[in-house]
Structure 1
Amino acid sequence: MSLPVHLVTSLADVVVGDDVEVTGDEAHHAVAVRRVRAGERLQLTDGAGTLVEGAVRATGKRQLTLTVDDLRRVPRTEPELVVVQALPKGDRGELAVEVLTEVGVARIVPWAAERSVAVWKGERAVKSLARWRSTAREATKQARRSWLAEVDELALTGDVLELIEGADLAVVLHEAETAALADVEVPVAGRLVVVVGPEGGLTDEEVGAFAEAGAVPVRLGAEVLRTSTAGVAACAALLSRTPRWR
């Protein structure tokens, strides 16, 4: 069984033999919730590609000390996956973030689509974004990732168009399309962008604008998936045709 992973602020200057202090909520979760004790082994990551492993030397109420005996620098995986996720209603947004992070998405972009039921404004926007980012952080640890899944600020359609224009491949999931995702040629490197619409579906104007910017409108299959699960299904289908899943 793989070792538990905890996130720390930075491991940039750490070398084998160093002691690393973990404090605050992360240490509290390890010591008080998971009941980690001296002598147990853990992994720590800074979410920026550095992963260290070692034995816990000491613990306190909200701190633990780990002595590093193994250190790895993990490069970013290619191709990079970016998912533009239209705002779902309720807690389905956090579900989408969780499964997308676990499957290996590098960046999640919350999008205010025309037919999005949920609306992020004012204090609600601040709290909702914080929940998405907290979910990505916890899912990063669950998936034993060395790179933290990033969650962007709320995007408008113009921002999504810019993402599409800069992608090596961009697909828009749309159940009314005849072209299948399975038939799209997938690059083995670069950036792949997947656009997922809201519960109410994409408008014709949105699909047309995305296609004009270079995206390929596609369907996943005969079934219509929820907005919170369509993205992970599409990413899995794409990843299965890249070296990342071979």
Structure 2
Amino acid sequence: MTASGQLPVFYIGTIPPGATSLTLDGDEGLHAAKVRRIRVGEQIRIADGAGAFADCAVESVAARTLVARVVRHGADPVRRPTITVVQALPKADRGSLAVELLTEAGVDEIVPWQSRNCVARWSDPQKAARGVAKWAVTAREAAKQSRRTRVPIIAPLISTRELLQRAKDQRTIVLHESATASLMQQSFSGVSDLMVIVGPEGGVSPDEVADLRGVGACVVHLGPEVLRTSSAGLAAVAVISALTGRWDAISRS
């Protein structure tokens, strides 16, 4: 069997325990058969997007359907600390870029935030729902490309008031270019769940910073350079993953 970290990943709704055969159909079957051109005899990984997976050998391929024999079942554990990134809405297509990069870095949840300085505005429930749906598609495709068995959750759009409530309940880091503390200086020993807040192009406003500090958030900088909102989250997650050993737990066997 090919090393599991090298297997192409496809998603299915559920993987029944003990299943000996799995079928990809619909868009996922079409993608496997026509886009990836998977052939009989090839090895693939089928995942449910929540950590469970089955490594399989392909037995038949049709136009929109692929049937595979299960070789082994497995499950990837939740890595600690879990990382939620609250991403202030970037302008134009930088939101999709931010979601793609965060997914590839291994985050567990991405929360869109309508902060005060956002240029982009999801101004009504319908627009917000479309934005969340677009981010969810981007996250799923990025997870597949990076061979993740867990697709990050894309949460509904939140306001600053809702963000403050969430920040009360878990360790929270706010990225800000004017902070005096460095992310590299932080200790995450014993932290089970971590939230990282990334501001918009105009930055997190002074009032928002003060309110977040008031509920216990720690405001930090990444370094001397000022990053775009679409890449700052990736840099922060990389630092945190290195400091906490999240990346040490990755197995490619």
Alignment TM class, shorter chain as reference: over 0.9
* Count of aligned pairs: 243
The one-character-per-residue Cα deviations of 1:175-227 (angstroms, maximum 9, x if unpaired) are 11111111111135411110000001111110011111111011111111000
Deviation at 1:245, TM superposition (A): 2.3
Question: What amino acid does structure 1 have at the position aligned with 2:157?
Answer: L
TM-score by length of 1: 0.95
> Which residue of the partner structure matches residue 133 of structure 2?
130
> Which residue of the partner structure matches residue 225 of structure 2?
223
Q: Is the 8 A contact 1:79 1:187 kept in 2?
A: no
Unaligned runs of 5+ in 1: none
Q: Is the 8 A contact 1:103 1:232 kept in 2?
A: yes
Question: What amino acid does structure 1 have at the position aligned with 2:9?
Answer: V
> Which residue of the partner structure matches residue 179 of structure 1?
181
CA distance in 1, matches of 2:149, 2:241: 18
> Which residue of the partner structure matches residue 3 of structure 1?
7
Deviation at 1:141, TM superposition (A): 1.1
> Which residue of the partner structure matches residue 25 of structure 1?
27
Question: What amino acid does structure 2 have at the position aligned with 1:61?
Answer: A
> Which residue of the partner structure matches residue 161 of structure 1?
164
Question: Which residue, out of 137, 146, 150, partners 1:147?
Answer: 150
Q: Which structure 2 residues correspond to residues 71-150 of structure 1 after superposition, within 5 A?
A: 71-122=73-124, 123-150=126-153
CA distance in 1, matches of 2:158, 2:44: 37
Q: Is the 8 A contact 1:38 1:56 kept in 2?
A: yes
Q: Is the 8 A contact 1:78 1:188 kept in 2?
A: no
Deviation at 1:164, TM superposition (A): 1.2
> Which residue of the partner structure matches residue 238 of structure 1?
240
> Which residue of the partner structure matches residue 251 of structure 2?
none
Q: Is the 8 A contact 1:188 1:242 kept in 2?
A: no
CA distance in 2, matches of 1:61, 1:127: 30
CA distance in 1, matches of 2:93, 2:84: 21
Are residues 1:60 and 2:62 paired? yes
Deviation at 1:28, TM superposition (A): 0.4
CA distance in 1, matches of 2:64, 2:123: 35
The percent of aligned pairs where both chains have the same amino acid is 42
Are residues 1:47 and 2:36 paired? no
Question: What amino acid does structure 1 have at the position aligned with 2:28?
Answer: E
